[in-house]
Amino acid sequence: MIGRGTIINAMAIIIGATGGLLIKNGIPERVKHTIMQGIGLAVVMLGLSGALQEIFLVTAAGGLERRFTLLIIFSLVGGGCIGAGLRIEEYLEHLGQRIEQKFTRLEGGFARGFITASLIYCVGAMAVVGAFEDGLTGKIEILLSKSLLDGVSAVVFGASLGPGVVFSAGTVLLYQGLLTLLAGLLKTVITAEVLSQMSLIGGILIMSIGFNILEITKIKVGNLLPAIFLPLLFDLGQKCWAFLA
């Protein structure tokens, strides 16, 4: 069944985050802070490694050739303009706050946990590539691996960021589910190169999430989310232009 990988992923997040909430009071604040710093560093490295894996190509001579440089700039700038115009980050924050108001017994910081976890679980290369592979071939190995990683991290996120992490499973279900459906509809036009480009942008955004967790800066990653899909739009535009020409 197409989409089962995403369902498993969402369930892993719910189970992990719920477990984190149950043990939350048993974890000292200094330990939570240190854990979050460790996760922040790990997220930065995951994003960096994913981006480097896609941006460099091994040549026949054994060297490294950089690629997609202009695409990175156009995608991030263009995606940022689109996201800022649509106020994606602002709507994500409002969504988290509205859910928090409906569950008044939950502690503060709900929106931060919901947004942080949603972005981390949705932006990465594994989310994009895994969902697309599910839609294109029906294979879910990548999403199963992602489910394991997300479930483990959800325990820590649930204990550190609160109940908002549980509801991020809904974002994962919607986001990856739509990507899987999109891949099924566009399976005849998506190339391996486009997947690499989308994974590259996803890796860069993952790094920015790590910077936010480490409180190095505040990057509105939500506004940059459209950048992931611009390589696909560029590729489709080129094909349409070539067809019309």
At 227, the pLDDT band (50, 70, 90 cuts) reads very high
Select from 166, 184, 167, 172 the least CA-distant residue to 127: 172
Cα gap 94→75, rounded to integer Å: 26
At 100, the pLDDT band (50, 70, 90 cuts) reads low
pTM for this entry: 0.78
At 105, the pLDDT band (50, 70, 90 cuts) reads low
pLDDT at 114: 87
pLDDT at 115: 82
At 101, the pLDDT band (50, 70, 90 cuts) reads low
208 versus 93: the higher-pLDDT residue is 208
Q: Is the alpha carbon torsion for 110, 112, 115, 120 positive or negative? A: negative
pLDDT at 102: 65
pLDDT in tens, 185-214: 877 777 888 888 888 888 898 888 889 888
At 108, the pLDDT band (50, 70, 90 cuts) reads low
Cα gap 131→181, rounded to integer Å: 9
pLDDT at 11: 96
φ/ψ of residue 58, rounded to 5: -75, 125
pLDDT in tens, 1-38: 678 899 999 999 999 999 988 887 666 778 777 877 88
Secondary structure class of 2 (helix, strand, coil): coil
Cα gap 150→76, rounded to integer Å: 26
Contacts of 148 (CB under 8 A, 6+ apart): 12
Contacts of 62 (CB under 8 A, 6+ apart): none
Secondary structure class of 27 (helix, strand, coil): coil
pLDDT at 107: 53
At 104, the pLDDT band (50, 70, 90 cuts) reads very low
- Region 228-233: mean pLDDT is 90
Q: What angle do CA 151, 48, 27 make, to 5 degrees?
A: 40
> Hey, where are the domains in the chain?
4-237
Cα gap 217→210, rounded to integer Å: 10
pLDDT in tens, 37-71: 887 888 888 789 888 988 988 887 878 888 999 99
pLDDT in tens, 132-177: 888 887 888 889 888 988 888 898 888 878 888 999 999 999 999 9
Q: With a cut of 80, say whether residue 88 has pLDDT above it.
A: yes
Cα gap 176→132, rounded to integer Å: 8
> How does the average pLDDT of the chain come out, rounded?
84
pLDDT at 9: 95
Q: Are 165 and 13 in contact (CB under 8 A)?
A: yes
The count of residues in the chain is: 245
